[in-house]
């Protein structure tokens, strides 16, 4: 495993973290989840990424991870656990977004579900258009000072929102170290908006989620939709019409051919492409079984691209 410094902090994160966004809900088999987490840890993946609303139902991913962590209790100091709050969790006016009431209550619930005394990183999961940013940032800072959180981060914040938060955190002397954003060969918004370069300039780490574009960059949908695929089993984020888009399929097929020429699977090349940039601290990778994780981790064997390869990838994605 490769470990990279997270921004200007002293914290090192693995190039690949295991994300529990999918596959850790109430209906999933405990032994399969446990085997995946254990394999990840054996491979040097020391960081596990959760959120209060991961499931389904909400909270179940943290609860299931907590059961597994109980078996890894002797390794707690070798493991980094992050969670988030920002999306709707319970009915009423205090169950979402970014008020101090919500952020404090949600973290208490998350720690209880996971059986932990503290979270290594606590993220505000999305910007709140109503709560003053000073309140949101102040709540995160207070949780650090209370010993419930070691570091804080933001997710789904654009450049301007991150900059506004950074100014507050600097004034409070809060250990704000990371922005978690969607980034892949098919989704390069953070490049267009300048967020990616801004984070490097300001010494803030960047963790890329959905580096495989919800499975589109695995190539598994080129010959139809497998029965055990996420589109079939959990269609909340990727719909059948998304993967049947002819123009997108042409791009994925062209990228698959380039990956084969590089001696990689499409998924390995897609992960390597994200990790090639010094602005990127690491990727958050989901998996359904240990073998899939093993295969994707081979991306770390070659994250170098020639100028011609990069130009060709841009031609495939941007010009077509």
pLDDT in tens, 78-116: 999 999 999 999 999 999 999 999 999 999 999 999 999
CATH dotted code for 3-218+266-302: 3.20.20.100
pLDDT number for residue 233: 56
Whether 154 and 180 have beta carbons less than 8 Å apart is answered as: yes
Question: How far is it, in rounded angstroms, from Cα 269 to Cα 99?
Answer: 40
- Residues 228-272 pLDDT 10s: 655 555 555 566 666 677 888 899 999 999 999 999 999 999 999
- CB-based burial, 247-278: b 16+ in 10 Å, e otherwise: ebeebbebbbebbeeeebbbbbbbbbbbbeee
Q: Which residues contact 111 (CB under 8 A, 6 or more apart)?
A: 117, 118, 119, 148
The Cα-based distances of 32 to 96, 113, 161 in angstroms read 31, 19, 39
- Between 319 and 95, residue with greater pLDDT: 95
What does 37-79 look like in DSSP terms, one character per residue?
A: HHHHHHTT--EEE--TT-TTTTTHHHHHHHHHHHHTGGGGGG-
pLDDT of amino acid 247: 87
CB half-sphere exposure, 19, CA atoms < 13 A: 20
d(CA 249, CA 223): 10
Q: What is the pLDDT of residue 77?
A: 98
Token pair in block for residue 245? 């888009």
Compute the half-sphere exposure of residue 172: CA atoms within 13 Å on the CB side of its CA.
23
Whole-prediction pTM: 0.94
Query: Residue 313: is its pLDDT beyond 60?
Result: yes
Of 21-25, 184-188, 226-230, the range with the lowest mean pLDDT is 226-230
Per-residue pLDDT, 246: 83
Do residues 33 and 6 lie in contact, with contact meaning Cβ atoms separated by under 8 Å? no
Q: What is the pLDDT of residues 1-20, one digit of tens each?
A: 999 999 999 999 999 999 99
What is the domain partition of the chain in residue ranges?
Answer: 3-218+266-302
């Amino acid at each position: 495993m490769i470990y990279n410094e997270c921004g200007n902090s002293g914290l090192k994160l693995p190039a690949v973290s295991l994300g529990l966004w999918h596959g850790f809900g109430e209906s999933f088999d405990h032994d399969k989840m446990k085997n995946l987490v254990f394999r990840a840890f054996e491979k040097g993946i020391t960081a596990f990424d959760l959120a209060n609303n991961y499931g389904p139902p909400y909270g179940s991913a943290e609860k299931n991870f907590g059961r597994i962590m109980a078996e890894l209790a002797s390794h707690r100091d070798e493991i980094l656990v992050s969670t988030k709050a920002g999306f709707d969790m319970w009915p009423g006016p205090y169950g979402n977004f970014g008020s101090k009431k919500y952020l404090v209550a949600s973290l208490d619930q998350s720690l209880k579900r996971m059986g932990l005394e503290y979270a290594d990183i606590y993220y505000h999961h999305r910007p709140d258009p109503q709560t003053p940013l000073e309140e949101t940032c102040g709540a995160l800072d207070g949780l650090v000072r209370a010993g419930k959180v070691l570091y804080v981060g933001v997710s789904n914040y654009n450049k301007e929102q991150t900059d506004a938060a950074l100014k507050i955190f600097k004034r409070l002397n809060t250990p704000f170290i990371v922005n978690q954003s969607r980034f892949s060969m098919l989704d390069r918004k953070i490049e267009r908006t300048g967020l990616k370069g801004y984070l490097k300039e300001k010494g803030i780490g960047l963790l890329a989620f959905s580096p495989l574009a919800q499975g589109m960059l695995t190539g598994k949908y080129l010959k139809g939709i497998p029965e055990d695929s996420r589109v079939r089993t959990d269609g909340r984020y990727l719909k059948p019409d998304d993967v049947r888009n002819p123009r997108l399929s042409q791009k994925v097929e062209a990228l698959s051919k380039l990956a084969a020429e590089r001696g990689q699977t499409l998924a390995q090349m897609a992960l390597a492409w994200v990790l090639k940039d010094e602005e990127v601290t690491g990727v958050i990778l989901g998996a359904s079984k240990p073998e899939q994780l093993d295969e994707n981790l081979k991306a770390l064997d070659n994250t170098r691209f020639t100028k011609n390869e990069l130009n060709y990838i841009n031609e495939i994605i941007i010009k077509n």
